[in-house]
Structure 1
Amino acid sequence: MVSKAKKSRGSPGNHHLRRRKKTPITAATNTASVVVASINKSIYTCHRRLIKIFSKLVRIATPTRKSSVKKGYKVLRKYPSLSDDQYPLTTVRRSLFQETNIPLPLINPPNKKTVFLDLDETLIHSIPANGLIRPKNYDFVVKPLLDGERVCFYVLKRPFVDEFLRFLSENGFEIVVFTAGIEEYASLVLDVLDRKGLISHRLYRDSCKEFEGKFVKDLSNLGRDLKKGVIVDDNPNSYSLQPENAIPISPFVDDLGDDELKKLMSGFFGNCDEFEDLRDAVKSYVGNGVEDLNSERLIEKDEMFGKSKDSNLQTLIEV
């Protein structure tokens, strides 16, 4: 009996039955494919879920007209369109990064009356410290840093200034202090003068225009209707561009019997509601002698500064 010869393991017949070993490169490639496929699947799943979530949020956050009040939404108030006199076309912002020349925010409501008040010699009078000698009358002291040096100023409030500011605020006027003094000095004075926060805005020397060596307060580029605004100032140079809006006032130095602000309360501001245009009210109150009165007060102010020993410091405050 003849036995069949056994085929060797390495014979060609059984070669296709042998399992080949995977190389490290092949194994890594297969693993990476699985990982990428898993990540793609996760991203796709997250994407679908996010779409569903945001779709629900949009439906929840968008109120219907009927249910807006119940859910606490408030309908915004619509304001009437403003005339060119109130807000010139040059004040419209055309770009997100466009610079604006208006130093004041928009007034609300638009028909509110604005009073621009000068500071030095109108609401207060201040003098720099001169050695150890103090003035006879003063209300408080401020010490601004001027030209790198701390300077002491004795400040005297004009009689009835507190009552005057309170009267304007209670009668619905927007109060803006517009001074030709530098901010380092004037801001300290106003912090003490206006402890109750009755003054809405403050404008300093950097908001003035310089013309022939003098600082002019131009009211036309402040975003306020000139029909609804007046300026009270002791220096006619300050309001030379809009004299029809100006109420001249005599310079205050140290006269404790001064009653100019009291007269303004009972005279002009107590009766100006009768006029639609405040410029007509100014004309009626001041009269036709406004130019002569301005000239006289300007001469008085120049003489007062000329006699001052500290005129160089005075120019830093206001001229």
Structure 2
Amino acid sequence: MVSRITRKALTKSSKKSPKTARRWPKKSSPSPLKSFSSAATSFNRSLSSCRRHLFKIFACFTVFHTPNKRKQGFHRLVPAHIDTKDISSLLSAPFLPPPTFPRRKTVFFDLDETLIHSCTGIPPERYDFTIHPVIDGKEITFYVLKRPGTDELLRVASEVYEVVIFTAGLREYASLVLERLDPNNKLISHRLYRDSCREMEVGKLVKDLSGLGRDMGKVVIVDDNPASFSLQKENAIPVSPFINDLDDRELREVMKFLNFAANFEDTREAVALYLSGWWKSES
């Protein structure tokens, strides 16, 4: 009896239960249609993955080649019709501000040998004052002699005209002379120096009045050097160079002309009458 019961228990434990058999069912082979669908899905996933990788790569290139605007800041736009090579010349070109009295005409006076004469080295017998500009790092003493009638000319002209000094002299030198001629800054409206001249040839400086913002029918230039006003001869009153002649009366004639020209609508007509000799015959 005992041996039979033991055999039955051993036989029962060695067999697999139906539940255990259902946990691992045998896989059946897929149909051809399902295999094709699965392959298409896998291909689409791979294609999408490739696209994502490509977008990341292009995004990296964009970051590498895009300038940092915060570091560079804003850039001033230049009109397309202006050559950028000419911007520096446009900025440096002389241009006078609008006149304080728009109805007044403008007279440009040269400085050296027109209103004054200066020299260095041994002091001359006569001079009115000295200046000591520093040029090229070296202080130089200039002895300055005013032409007879200079002070009166500046005073009278400033009452009727806008007075501008236009000199080919260096700013370091000429500015000191003008401070002595007009210490209170009441006679001279504007000052133009060598850097406002045009160099037509090597060493040949020209005073071009056309780009200074003034009507060419309302300007006069008084100068001893014909080359300086060669571009606007019809606006020029030439004077003889002044050295040390204390009997010189040139500026007195200039004062008479300025009073006469103030009544003309176009100063070039007054200049033409003066240069024709009519002025001397009438006076």
**TM class by shorter-chain length?**
0.5 to 0.7
Deviations 1:9-38 (CA, angstroms, capped at 9, x unpaired): xxxxxxxxxxxxxxxxxxxxxxxxxxxxxx
CA contact (8 A) 2:93 2:196 kept: no
Within a 5 Å distance, the mapping from 1:178-189 to structure 2 comes to 178-189=166-177
Q: Which residue in 1 is equivalent to 2:162? A: 174
| 2:95 corresponds to | 103
Letter in 1 for 2:183: R
Query: Conserved in 1, the CA contact under 8 Å of 2:217 and 2:268?
Result: yes
Map of 1:281 onto structure 2:
270
Q: Which residue of 1 aligns with 2:248?
A: 258
Contact 1:102 1:223 in 2 (8 A): no
Alpha-carbon separation, structure 2, partners of 1:288 and 1:160: 23
Query: C-alpha root-mean-square deviation of aligned residues, in Å?
Result: 1.8
Task: Give the counterpart letter for 1:181 in structure 2.
Answer: G
Aligned twin of 1:114: 106
How far off is 1:100 after superposition?
Answer: 7.1
The answer for the alignment partner of 2:27 in structure 1 is none
Aligned partner letter, 1:126 = S
Assess if the C-alpha contact under 8 Å between 1:103 and 1:207 holds in 2. no
Aligned residue for 2:258, secondary structure, equals coil
Runs (4+) of structure 1 exceeding 6 A deviation are none
Gap runs ≥5 in structure 1: 1-89, 91-97, 290-319
How many angstroms does 1:201 deviate by? 0.4
Structure 2 length as normaliser, TM-score? 0.64
Change (3 A) 1:135 1:211: same
Give the aligned partner of residue 46 of structure 2. none
Identical counterparts, % of pairs: 57
What is the alpha-carbon distance in structure 2 between the residues aligned to residue 140 and residue 129 of structure 1?
A: 14
- Residue deviations 1:104-163, cap 9 Å, x none? 111233332000000000000000123xxx210100000111111111000000001000
Match of 1:154 in 2: 143
Distance 2:232 2:164 in 1: 16
Separation of aligned partners in 2, 1:201 and 1:234: 20
1:194 maps onto 2:182 in alignment: yes
Kindly provide the amino acid, as one letter, of the partner of residue 260 in structure 1. E
What one-letter code is carried by the residue in structure 2 that aligns with 1:169? S
Instruction: Determine if contact 1:115/1:232 at 8 Å carries over to the other structure.
Output: yes
Match of 2:222 in 1: 232
Matched to 1:280, the amino acid is E
Aligned residue identity for 2:230:
S
Equivalent residue runs for 1:1-319 within 5 Å: 99=91, 101-130=93-122, 134-170=123-159, 172-197=160-185, 198-213=187-202, 214-266=204-256, 268-287=257-276
Q: Is the 1:143–1:152 Cα contact (8 Å) retained in structure 2?
A: yes
State the aligned residue count.
188
CA offsets, 1:263-289, max 9 Å, x none?
1112x1121133110000000012179
Q: Equivalent residue of 1:231, what SS?
A: strand
Check conservation: 2:94, 2:196, Cα contact below 8 A.
Answer: no
Bigger helix share:
2
* Structure 1 residues 163 and 148, CA gap change in structure 2 (3 angstroms): same
Question: Could you state the TM-score of these two structures normalised by the residue count of structure 1?
Answer: 0.57
- CA distance, structure 2, for counterparts of residue 253 and residue 102 of structure 1: 29
